[in-house]
Homo-oligomer: A and B are copies of this chain.
């Protein structure tokens, strides 16, 4: 697949992730091995202290990681998250969050992906607020799992 086909595939799959629409998340940059997802903080995705809930941060970080992995997979394959670890480095707040997923070790069966989540303030300053590392499984031949 060329870059345009990869981006089209990821956009179509992302549109089927009901959770992303529910959170208000949007796709950002897409390159082979690198996918970004953007989320604007609002009360509907908060935790009890008013910051963005770690579950919402995890959701965009996991999706960005999964699509970064998918961008390097053959068109017949689907991607499943095996496991991920996330460290929360600072409160998630600001004008917008950007989750940048980057494949650090592509593999035929398993890929390792890291997602940095940055918070941008009104002046455009960026601060890293979370770091996720995930193992992503390439799934072939399972009906319904083709992206």
- Please give the residue numbers on chain A whose beta carbons come within 8 Å of chain B beta carbons, in ascending order: 13-14, 16-23, 42-50, 53-56, 58-60, 62-63, 78, 80-90, 104-105, 109-110, 112, 114, 128, 131, 133, 135, 137, 144-145, 147
Contact = CB atoms under 8 A, between A and B. Distances in A.
Contact of A59 (B56, B63, B104, B109): B56
A23 to B, nearest CB: 8
A135 B82 contact: yes
Contact of A133 (B22, B50, B85, B109): B85
A123 B127 CA distance: 38
Given A59-B59, A80-B88, A53 B18 contact: yes
Contacts of A47: 16-19, 63
A56 B60 CA distance: 10
How many copies of this kind of chain does the complex include?
4
A144 B50 CA distance: 9
Contact of A22 (B22, B88, B114, B131): B22
A114 B131 CA distance: 10
A116 to B, nearest CB: 10
B55 A60 contact: yes
B59 A53 contact: yes
Nearest to A84: B86
A54 to B, nearest CB: 5
